[in-house]
Chains A and B, each alone.
Chain A
Amino acid sequence: MYVAVKGGEAAIRNAHRLLADRRRGDPAVPALHPSQIVEQLALGVDRVMAEGALYDRDLAGLALMQARGDMIEAIFLVRAYRTTLPRFGYSLPVDTGAMQIERRISATFKDLPGGQVLGPTFDYTHRLLEPELAEGGEPPAPERREVAAEASPRVTDLLGHDGLIEPDGNGDGEVTDITRTPMEFPLPRDGRLQALARGDEGFLLALAYSTQRGYARSHPFVGEIRIGEVEIELDVPELPFPAPLGRVRLTECQMVNQFKGSAKAPPQFTRGYGLVFGQSERKAMAMALCDRALRAGEFGEDIVAPAQDEEFVISHSDNVQATGFVEHLKLPHYVDFQAELDLVRRMRAEQQEATDIKEAAE
């Protein structure tokens, strides 16, 4: 038997109206415009774009505003929006070597072509709150330094020349797309990277941390982190050349890990790779550490830690899926629970009956 219960329309309507009011907050405080979020909470916007897997700063800003700053709710909104759009195709792979550098550091080499460029970083700040921000006022204009154009080759390419580091590989085979075909384990590395790129920053950060604490030790160094804009190009039938679409900001992390060699091949450094929308080096680093840990099978390493378990990591990295399953528990389960209640009553009654019989026999 199935009994449908209706009701709650008015309550739901009023709840959403209340939500809109609470979202607005105190009317004496000026309302936000999404453009303020895009400009002034830019790293939050970047996180919504990365985990929403949709590069559109304005949409991410709007989503954050609508979600009252709830990151995962905003990411959910963006994911839902992207399902409404037609697909035009796949871009040509971006060239991060040609990135317009906004920040570029290496923890492995002090002197490298292009240099160590700090960019707009929180590093070396004192992490003291700055109450003067609340008073408004404009910051001083950034310092400028005239420079001759200097290329900033990827650090891994520099090491690669000597064979000291595992090469990139250069296959141009079929590319996995986890948004088009259901995931099946084991996933190829490209599919894992697609999942990690949209994976929850907190989850990947915790897993990456676990590898540093000894759960799948990989002895990592940051070969390079670079942040900046890259050109996007798309092959389209109506043009005799790839259509230039504009630029997106990305963060790339090249993690360099301890050696792998064999009787045939001399030892060389192995690598983990992270590439994330926007300015997000914590996420890019966590992604690179997880990527390397998930390559355990490829290098014949023992799979002993959660971060090396592909099905565990990839299946639980998507925070929209995770929140959907966890949060569904709050929806009405009245009938399920009634059944459980009946069951536990019956079990207790049976136990009581057995005790009574036993006591009577004694």
Chain B
Amino acid sequence: MILPPASPDSSERQRLMGVLARAPRAAIETVLATFGPLPPHREMRKPETGLVTLRGRIGGGGDAFNMGEATVTRASVRLETGEVGHAYALGRDATKARLAALIDAAFQNPSLHDSVIAAVFEPLLQAEAEGERRKTEETAATKVDFFTMVRGED
């Protein structure tokens, strides 16, 4: 098996794949509309839905145990220029997996890399951050502020 080259931007690629996995398909389609024409490519692995067993840890930090399963869909795409993109995401959305794999492939292409960052990665990240901030603030409003009532002289 040919191992993928360990590229210096592995962590950035991982972050991109994370944002794509979490984003709703509609959000990906919206940002792709501003990306311009999609690079020529073919499917290397058709979208496939399967199960991943989710693991927790006993007590939160101890031995692993199996909690149950989740549906996951994966796909792989190869650009005509040779880059191979992969996608994995919870759920059963084949279109989303195909689009995410295509974006991952484009990210690895030197001439497309920057526009993937500017037109796809950053807008998705920003939309996600806004949603998270709203949720965090709504949750924070339900935080209990304790106050103590002092009664008596001493």
Contacts and interface: CB of A to CB of B under 8 A. Distances in A.
Contacts of A183: none
Contact of A54 (B6, B71, B74, B138): B71
Interface residues of B, number: 60
Interface of B is mostly: mixed
A240 interface: yes
Nearest to B69: A54
A177 B135 CA distance: 35
19 contacts: A85-B51, A93-B55, A93-B57, A120-B142, A147-B136, A168-B61, A176-B65, A176-B66, A178-B66, A231-B18, A232-B70, A237-B1, A239-B86, A240-B3, A244-B18, A244-B22, A245-B88, A247-B22, A273-B60
Contact of B90 (A176, A178, A239, A248): A248
A154 B57 CA distance: 13
Contacts of A173: 63
Given A143-B141, A189-B58, 10 more contacts: A54-B71, A93-B57, A96-B56, A102-B135, A172-B64, A175-B55, A176-B66, A179-B69, A193-B65, A247-B90
A170 B52 contact: no
Interface in A206-246: 231-232, 234, 236-246
B60 A168 contact: yes
B68 A55 contact: yes
A198 B69 CA distance: 10
**List of 8 A-B pairs having minimum Cβ-Cβ separation, nearest first:** A168-B62, A244-B18, A190-B65, A55-B70, A53-B68, A144-B137, A168-B59, A143-B141
Contacts of B6: 240
Interface stretch (A33-41, A63-71, A111-119, A259-267): A111-119
Interface in B1-41: 1, 3-4, 6-7, 10-11, 13-14, 17-18, 21-22
B65 A144 contact: no
Given A55-B90, A142-B138, A145-B140, A190 B63 contact: yes
A90 B66 contact: yes
Contact of A241 (B10, B50, B68, B137): B10
Contact of B62 (A53, A144, A169): A169
Nearest to B91: A56
Nearest to B90: A246
A168 B62 CA distance: 5
A341 interface: no
A311 interface: no
Contacts of A169: 58-59, 62-63
A221 to B, nearest CB: 15
A193 B54 CA distance: 13
Contact of A87 (B14, B51, B56, B62): B51
Contacts of B72: 88, 234, 245
A119 B138 CA distance: 8
A268 interface: no
A201 interface: no
A312 B5 CA distance: 52
B142 A117 contact: yes
B46 to A, nearest CB: 13
Given A94-B56, A96-B56, A243-B17, A119 B139 contact: yes
B128 to A, nearest CB: 11
A234 B69 CA distance: 13
Contacts of B48: 86
A118 B142 contact: yes
B67 A275 contact: yes
Contacts of B140: 117, 144-147
B60 A156 contact: yes
A59 interface: yes
Contacts of B137: 144-147
Contacts of A119: 139, 142
Contacts of A273: 58-60
A205 interface: no
Contacts of A157: 60-61
Interface in B85-122: 86, 88-92
Nearest to B137: A144
A17 interface: no
B49 A85 contact: yes
Contacts of B84: 238
